[in-house]
């Protein structure tokens, strides 16, 4: 970029959390400013969060770049407080720190090259760095129920607006699925009047959050032609689904640094379908020091809300109580209005002393902070699920689909899985797993994840964290069934009386000894039981294969062989 030799694409580099992304950018900018060969070359860094701005400024000023760093976040965001750090005026700064939100606001409908707010000495900055998640725009949707929620607040402002919203609702309910629906101007209102009234609802703090969101979305889809879909969560309800590009097409070439780049399928869609992005090789850590336990029950927000027996909170508390003197990080769903806060619910099962060593973050605030990187125990109290329409819209946005292009269900599924992995990677890497040793391994960490088998999350973890150990997390161990108990009793007898004679215990031998006639029934009632898996693990055994009587058989063997065996 600095020498205008980079192809006109967005270039994605995926570096795992903790490997030094921020440090790399800091020193690159330092070298750029000091280089005699790049005199006058300027750069802009787009950050995802306002709270990162001050830290980046101080990092660069710590390298002696005080006279070369400027900030542009807007007066409403408190730009003046950053000016007090000694930043130079934006158009005079060779390095400009800004936010991604400022880019989309200032470049709406305009080319980047024509947006002077980001210029250096009257010209666009050639070095462009995007920090964290990148999408070429944003998806949006509006259902007939969303429109209904606007009727009362709309009528309070304008009877004509309420009538127009109600008419649009009727049109949507009668619309053909998978066809475009043109949202015409509000009848009886000028475009300016409708926009002003909807804006008033969107910023009215007395309105429910979903009503404010509906007002914002209706403002955005006016005069557009979104695609009509069925809402998968609400049978019979129809939604208008579309996306808008918010990133100027001439922003490339640009470097994108996103730790989740290797797991989010949206980037692969941009590369394959839009053709404006190149995915470069990822830098991945060795996660062999990470142990993950998965509790196979529902982890969605509604699952917690409907848990009248507080089973999930009790299970988390019981797990924390096994290491009461250690620090813990719990990442949970955002507290609902007028509901008991998550921390208070956990307080019912933990002493104040133990609770004082537990830190809390909620989904949505689970990335970007290193304040908990010393904590070796982390609980994901459920995982963050988005409505199905969001995955559909996000996939269409990434692929650049238009008009009546259909999205294959498999594409939506891999996008959904990628978003799950993105959230889990960012969440777990708030804890000690973020760290890395001299050999490229993460620091030791124990993670506990609540996720149902139906979510498929447990199967994603080994690829997301290469080298990690994934096992069942059972806060309330299952009682052994009679069949499992018979098998374990026999194994215990062997270990006590004939351990020297057995280095491998075939399942076929166990079946014969205990008179199991049906192989399939043995597999179902013994081998597939979680209590059996837990019992053999406690005894240092694992399922393995070995050659017995000239054929390969499955059975049990010791996880750690004797020293004599290792010596050979």
- Name the pLDDT band for 250 (thresholds 50, 70, 90): very high
Q: Which ranges of 439-556 does DSSP label H, i.e. alpha helix?
A: 457-464, 482-497, 507-513, 519-522, 530-538
Tokens 């090789």 -> residue: 281
104/432 Cα distance (integer angstroms): 34
Q: What is the average per-residue pLDDT within 56-77?
A: 84
- Tens of pLDDT, residues 151-163: 999 999 888 888 8
pLDDT at 404: 66
Nearest alpha carbon to residue 510 among 556, 557, 449, 450: 556
Burial 124-140 (b: 16+ CB within 10 A, else e): bbbbbbbbbbbbbeebb
pLDDT at 567: 34
Q: What is the pTM of this model?
A: 0.78
363/384 Cα distance (integer angstroms): 7
- Cα dist. 61→22, 32, 82 in Å? 14, 14, 12
pLDDT at 401: 85
- Tens of pLDDT, residues 38-56: 999 999 999 998 888 888 9
Q: How many residues are there in the chain?
A: 568
Beta strand 551-558 with 541-548 is antiparallel
Q: Are 227 and 404 in contact (CB under 8 A)?
A: yes
Three-state DSSP at 361 gives strand
> Taking 50 as the threshold, does the pLDDT of residue 330 lie above it?
yes
Percent of the chain with pLDDT over 90: 51
Cα dihedral sign, 193-198-202-207: positive
- Tens of pLDDT, residues 87-101: 778 888 999 999 999
Look up residue 131 and give its two tokens.
Answer: 């920090």
pLDDT at 566: 38
Which carries the bigger pLDDT value, residue 486 or residue 181? Answer: 486
Nearest alpha carbon to residue 88 among 115, 54, 65, 110: 65
- Tens of pLDDT, residues 291-312: 999 998 888 888 888 888 899 9
Cα dihedral sign, 77-79-80-81: positive
Look up residue 491 and give its two tokens.
Answer: 């194994």
pLDDT at 309: 86
């Amino acid at each position: 970029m600095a020498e205008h030799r980079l192809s006109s694409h967005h270039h994605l580099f995926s570096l795992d959390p903790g490997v030094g992304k921020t440090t790399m950018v800091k020193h690159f900018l330092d070298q750029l400013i000091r280089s005699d060969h790049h005199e006058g070359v300027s750069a802009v860094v787009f950050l995802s969060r306002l709270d990162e701005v001050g830290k980046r400024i101080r990092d660069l000023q710590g390298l002696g770049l005080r006279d070369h760093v400027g900030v542009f976040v807007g007066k409403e965001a408190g730009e003046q407080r950053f000016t007090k750090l000694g930043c130079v005026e934006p158009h005079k700064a060779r390095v400009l720190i800004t936010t991604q939100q400022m880019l989309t606001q200032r470049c709406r409908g305009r080319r980047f090259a024509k947006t002077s707010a980001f210029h250096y000495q009257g010209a666009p900055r050639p070095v462009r760095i995007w920090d964290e998640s990148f999408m070429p725009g944003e998806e949006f949707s509006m259902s007939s129920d969303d429109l209904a929620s606007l009727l009362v607040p709309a009528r309070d402002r304008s009877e004509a607006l309420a009538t127009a919203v109600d008419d649009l609702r009727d049109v949507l309910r009668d619309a053909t699925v998978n066809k475009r629906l043109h949202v015409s101007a509000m009848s009886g209102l000028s475009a300016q009047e409708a926009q002003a009234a909807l804006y008033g609802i969107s910023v009215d703090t007395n309105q429910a959050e979903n009503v404010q969101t509906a007002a914002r979305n209706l403002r955005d889809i006016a005069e557009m032609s979104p695609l009509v879909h069925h809402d998968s969560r609400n049978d019979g309800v129809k939604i208008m689904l579309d996306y808008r590009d918010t990133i100027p097409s001439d922003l490339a070439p640009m470097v994108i640094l996103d730790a989740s780049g290797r797991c989010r399928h949206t980037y692969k869609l941009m590369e394959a379908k839009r053709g404006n992005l190149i995915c470069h090789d990822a830098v991945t850590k060795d996660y062999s020091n990470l142990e993950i336990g998965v509790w196979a029950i529902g982890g969605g927000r509604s699952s917690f809300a409907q848990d009248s027996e507080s089973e999930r909170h009790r299970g988390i508390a019981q797990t924390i109580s096994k290491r009461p003197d250690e620090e813990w990080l719990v990442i949970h769903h955002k507290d609902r209005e007028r509901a008991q806060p998550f921390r208070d619910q956990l307080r019912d099962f933990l002493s104040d002393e133990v609770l004082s060593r537990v830190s809390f973050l909620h989904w949505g605030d689970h990335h970007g902070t290193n304040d908990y990187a010393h904590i070796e125990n982390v609980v994901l109290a459920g995982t963050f699920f988005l409505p199905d329409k969001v995955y559909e819209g996000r996939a269409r946005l990434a692929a650049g689909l238009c008009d009546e292009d259909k999205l294959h269900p498999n594409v939506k599924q891999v996008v959904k899985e990628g978003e799950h992995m993105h959230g889990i990677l960012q969440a777990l890497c708030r804890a000690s797993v973020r760290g890395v040793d001299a050999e490229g391994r993460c620091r030791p960490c124990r993670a506990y994840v609540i996720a149902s088998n139906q979510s498929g999350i447990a199967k994603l973890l080994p690829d997301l964290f290469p080298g990690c150990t994934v096992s069942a997390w059972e806060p309330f161990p299952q009682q052994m069934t009679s069949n499992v108990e018979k098998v374990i009793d026999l194994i215990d007898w062997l270990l006590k009386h004939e351990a020297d004679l057995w280095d491998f215990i075939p399942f076929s031998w166990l079946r014969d000894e205990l008179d199991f006639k049906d192989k399939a029934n043995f597999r179902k009632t013994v081998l597939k039981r979680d209590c059996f898996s837990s019992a053999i693990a406690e005894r240092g055994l694992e399922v393995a294969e070995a050659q017995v009587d000239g054929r390969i058989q499955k059975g049990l063997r010791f996880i750690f062989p004797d020293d004599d065996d290792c010596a050979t």
